[in-house]
Amino acid sequence: MIIGKPLSSINAERDALRHKLMCELTANEVICRDILRMGPVAFAEFCGKLRATGLLKDFRRATVEEQNCVGALDGTHIRVKVPRELAPRFRGRKEWPTQNVLAACSFDMKFTYVLPGWEGTASDSRILKNALDREDKLLIPQGKFYLVDAGLPLRSGLIAPYRGVRYHLNEYSRRGPQNAKELFNHRHASLRNVIERAFGVLKKRFPIIASGTEPHYSFETMIEIVLACCIIHNFLMGVDPDENLIAEVDRELMHAEADHHVGTSGLATDADYRIGVMLREQIASQMWNDYYNNL
């Protein structure tokens, strides 16, 4: 598991190296395009260059969203190669070994926190607990919150949907919400969808982390590759978002159906859970009043 110090703590030498690297990336558009089509050797060399700048250990930046909702958080699975005796620990949702990567993103589809390296059998709630407790932890600003799915706990900084209330995005093209909980879950799903879109674009940009074939690289190298891909993804979302690629991901997600009727994790304390419940009720009530009054 790799996570690093805040970017503000990087020393001057690393800042200079990072600036030089970014200048090379932004020299012209062809270079950016070529990066997305690197062969295995070239990509490994590029990861080494990123490692030299310290970026692979320093991938975390402050969220600057002004709204109380600063983004969405979820996990994704990426295939890895591990020794045969370790394979059962990494064989979770897939038939092959994977690493479970926890990530948060802002609403511009840029990753703000990435924690790779967990075995595929690890649950998102277990990884999140570590992300919140570790020295370089996921920071949730006071009074702010991330949107999470029903597999993660409701608490003051993590707002999950109401359980047992359907909220497929496609349903609301056929009928409107019937109550405050349905309206909340619909809007929650519409916004939380950004993390799924970010993962989708990331994997389409970089087949090296989306392939179903066993990777050539070691487990440790694949961790660094994931971080490198997230860094480049953030850069390209600022200079070359590729609207066609985003539209392709959106079409695929629109056809994907998924229910999230699962139990609540025991991660949050009773007091923190009650704060989350009150905050969700307050948001849902205000949403419904505004919606109903404007019918």
Section 269-287 average pLDDT: 87
Query: DSSP for 180-204?
Result: HHHHHHHHHHHHHHHHHHHHHHHHH
Q: In terms of residue numbers, what domain contains 153? A: 66-258+265-293
> pLDDT grade, residue 171 (50/70/90)?
low
Question: Which secondary structure element, helix H or strand E, spans residue 145, and what is its range?
Answer: strand 145-147
Residues 6 or more apart from 70 whose CB is under 8 A from it? 63, 106, 112, 140, 141, 144, 145, 146
Section 267-291 average pLDDT: 84
pLDDT in tens, 122-169: 999 999 999 999 988 899 988 899 999 988 989 989 999 998 886 555
pLDDT in tens, 241-265: 889 999 999 988 877 654 444 344 4
Q: Are residues 228 and 282 in the same domain?
A: yes
Section 203-232 average pLDDT: 91
Q: Are residues 86 and 171 in the same domain?
A: yes
Identity at 222, one-letter amino acid code: M
CA angle centred on 121, ends 102 and 55, rounded to 5°:
30
Residue 179, φ and ψ in degrees, nearest 5: -160, 180
Section 178-198 average pLDDT: 91
Closest residue by Cα to residue 114 from 189, 58, 53, 35 = 58
Give the C-alpha distances (Å, rounded to integers) separating 108 from 197, 228, 265. 10, 19, 29
1 occurs within a structural domain: no
pLDDT at 121 over 70: yes
Section 191-205 average pLDDT: 95
The b/e string for 139-149 (b: 16+ C-beta within 10 A; e otherwise) is: bbeeebbbbbb
3 occurs within a structural domain: no
119 occurs within a structural domain: yes
186 occurs within a structural domain: yes
